[in-house]
């Protein structure tokens, strides 16, 4: 049987981390997070804390990835930790929820900023709401809402799928170029805003009048940190392509630490630039915070240039995710007869062609059915459950495989993975509670975490059926 070749080096894997992480979140989430917190300093703290927590989880995963450098990432890890059934549930959730929804949500931001430059066609509100899909205990979905924006998003997903279908090297080369351009553009944005002299240092310490207090602040902080987690998501892309990385035992930990550390610094500086230029009230009310911050300094021309920067950034991030996430679907196809077509290597181009196509089709369906916020909230809840289980599995493998030669051991064991697991547990519980409260208040049409749980759990009967067919 054909196998995927090890053709990805350190520079490409760092580009995958940075390109997979820095995409759309930093250009969409700060406004919502600012409105939740009402404090510039707390906003900055959320980005730093979320980055450190994410780094703890990444370093924990790096130990296992160095042990089992195989294509499929956490799907392979979970087989070693919890068995085939749990691994299938992860693969199912990756395909049905967070990998495909992640690809869709990143491409969605590309289209949203394209809509700023050139308004895309859309139906009237009456027509948009004429098609309403209601799911009990979950909420309402308006299929025709923002239809032009959704069509452009679908086009981007299909375009990047085609690029990566024909060549791993082309996809990797495209990623290196896009990441380099993105980094240069973001450095220009940060320097341009902070050195413009058109902001105020007082903005950084001036809170909004509506800043929540007491327990309301705790809920607001957890909601804000969920937004930051989405912006940091994508770091595990390199574990998905571990079977295609040269010298993975050394390269994977280095690229995760280097790439994520860089992302933490960039996110902190970008948000510092935002709050320097925009008072917290203006930042919170912004629909396109990056463009609005640029407009405050450079006028309309600056806003247009930043919109183009966001499109470039999200294009690169979408490519990184399309390339990497298909490897989980590919790994699941190799192991499960029900999805065996997804596990076939494209013989001419030596790529996981069918897995790429399956992911693209499902991503497009999610785009049609959902909105940006629904997709991001749902995928973060489910993906972080599995991130927590992956870190917990480090303890299991340390006990079960004591004599296994580990080329890399997570720094700060057992404190670092334990802190990560405890935080994930608290985050998941608080998210379910907040989602239900918001739904009951009428501020959210969908209970996103519950929707993620339901879709994930549908994998249980699918797995049982697939095992029955194999007998």
Q: Where are the beta strands (DSSP E) in 66-214?
A: 132-135, 139-142
User: Per-residue confidence at 251, pLDDT binned at 50, 70, 90?
Assistant: confident
CA distances from 148 to 113, 143, 156, 171, 374 (A): 13, 12, 13, 27, 18
At residue 1, the 3 state secondary structure works out as coil
Interior/surface letters 201-214, b for 16+ CB within 10 angstroms, e for the rest: eebbeeebeeebee
Q: 3-state DSSP helix/strand/coil percent for the chain, to nearest 5? A: 75, 5, 20
CA atoms within 13 A on the CB side of 3: 10
Residue 127 pLDDT > 60: yes
Residue 44 pLDDT > 50: yes
Residue 99: what pLDDT? 84
CATH fold of 10-470, please?
Amino acid/polyamine transporter I (1.20.1740)
Average pLDDT over residues 248-272: 90
Beta bridge partners of 140: 134
Query: Of 73-77, 81-85, 381-385, 467-471, which gets the smallest average pLDDT?
Result: 467-471
List own/partner pairs for 6-10 with CB under 8 A and 24 or more apart.
Answer: 6/243, 6/244, 6/245, 6/246, 6/248, 7/168, 7/169, 7/172, 7/244, 7/246, 8/168, 8/172, 8/241, 8/244, 8/245, 8/246, 9/245, 9/246, 9/251, 10/251, 10/254, 10/255
At residue 206, the 3 state secondary structure works out as coil
Average pLDDT over residues 189-208: 91
Q: Choose between 274 and 306: higher pLDDT.
A: 274
Residue 1: what pLDDT? 37
Average pLDDT over residues 91-113: 86
Average pLDDT over residues 50-63: 91
At residue 197, the 3 state secondary structure works out as coil
Residue 353 pLDDT > 50: yes
Render pLDDT for 436-468 as a digit per residue (tens, 0 to 9). 887 788 776 678 888 889 889 999 998 888 877
Residue 205: what pLDDT? 92
Distance, CA of 389 to CA of 98 (rounded, Å): 15
Residue 2 pLDDT > 90: no
Q: Choose between 52 and 244: higher pLDDT.
A: 52
Residue 49 buriedness (CB in 10 A; 0-12 / 13-18 / 19+)? middle
Render pLDDT for 287-345 as a digit per residue (tens, 0 to 9). 888 888 989 999 988 888 888 888 887 887 788 778 878 887 887 787 777 778 888 88
Distance, CA of 454 to CA of 136 (rounded, Å): 11
Alpha helices in 278-371 (DSSP H): 280-284, 289-298, 300-335, 353-369
Residue 92 pLDDT > 80: yes
Instruction: Check: CB of residue 168 under 8 Å from CB of residue 7.
Output: yes
Distance, CA of 276 to CA of 255 (rounded, Å): 31
Instruction: Check: CB of residue 33 under 8 Å from CB of residue 227.
Output: yes
Residue 172: what pLDDT? 65
Residue 139: what pLDDT? 60
Residue 246: what pLDDT? 83
Residue 150 pLDDT > 80: yes
Q: How many helices (H) and strands (E) does the chain have?
A: 20, 2
Residue 158 pLDDT > 90: yes
CA atoms within 13 A on the CB side of 323: 36
Cα distance between the two ends of the chain: 23
What residue ranges do the domains of the chain occupy? 10-470
């Amino acid at each position: 049987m054909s196998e995927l070749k090890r053709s990805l080096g350190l520079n490409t894997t760092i580009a995958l981390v940075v390109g997979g992480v820095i995409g759309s979140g930093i250009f969409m989430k700060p406004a919502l997070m600012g409105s939740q917190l009402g404090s510039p300093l707390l906003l900055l703290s959320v980005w730093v804390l979320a980055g450190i927590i994410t780094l703890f989880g990444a370093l924990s995963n790096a130990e296992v990835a160095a042990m089992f450098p195989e294509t499929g990432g956490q799907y392979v890890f979970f087989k070693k930790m919890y068995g085939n059934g749990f691994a299938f549930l992860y693969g199912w959730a990756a395909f049905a929820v967070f990998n495909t929804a992640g690809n869709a949500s990143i491409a969605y931001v590309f289209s949203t900023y394209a809509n700023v430059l050139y308004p895309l066609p859309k139906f009237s509100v009456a027509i948009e709401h004429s098609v309403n899909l209601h799911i009990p205990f979950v909420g309402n979905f308006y299929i025709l809402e923002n239809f032009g924006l959704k069509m452009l998003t679908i086009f981007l997903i299909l375009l990047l799928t085609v690029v990566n279908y024909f060549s791993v090297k082309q996809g990797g080369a495209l990623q290196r170029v896009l990441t380099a351009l993105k980094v240069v553009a973001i450095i220009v944005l940060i320097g341009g805003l902070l050195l413009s002299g058109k902001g105020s240092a007082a903005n950084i310490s001036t809170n909004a009048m509506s800043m929540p207090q007491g327990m309301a602040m705790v809920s607001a902080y957890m909601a804000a940190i969920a937004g930051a987690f989405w912006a940091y998501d994508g770091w595990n892309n390199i574990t998905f392509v571990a079977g295609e990385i040269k010298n993975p035992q050394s390269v994977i930990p280095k690229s995760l630490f280097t790439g994520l550390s860089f992302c933490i610094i960039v996110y902190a500086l970008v948000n510092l630039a935002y709050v320097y230029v925009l008072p917290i009230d203006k930042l919170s009310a912004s629909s396109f915070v990056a463009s609005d911050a640029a407009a405050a300094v450079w006028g309309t021309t600056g806003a247009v240039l930043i919109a183009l920067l966001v499109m470039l950034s999200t294009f690169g991030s979408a490519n990184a995710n399309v390339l990497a996430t298909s490897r989980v679907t590919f790994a699941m196809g190799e192991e499960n007869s029900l999805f065996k077509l997804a596990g076939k290597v494209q013989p001419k181009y030596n790529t996981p062609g069918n897995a790429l196509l399956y992911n693209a089709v499902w991503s497009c369906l999610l785009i049609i059915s959902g909105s940006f916020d629904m997709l991001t909230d749902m995928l973060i809840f489910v993906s972080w459950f599995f991130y927590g289980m992956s870190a917990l599995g480090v303890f299991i493998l340390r006990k079960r495989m004591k004599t296994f030669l580990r080329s890399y051991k997570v720094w700060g064991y057992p404190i670092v993975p334990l802190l990560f697991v405890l935080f994930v547990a608290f985050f998941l519980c608080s998210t379910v509670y907040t989602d239900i409260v918001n739904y009951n208040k009428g501020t959210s049409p969908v209970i996103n975490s519950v929707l993620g749980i339901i879709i994930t759990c549908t994998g249980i009967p699918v797995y049982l059926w697939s095992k029955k067919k194999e007998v």
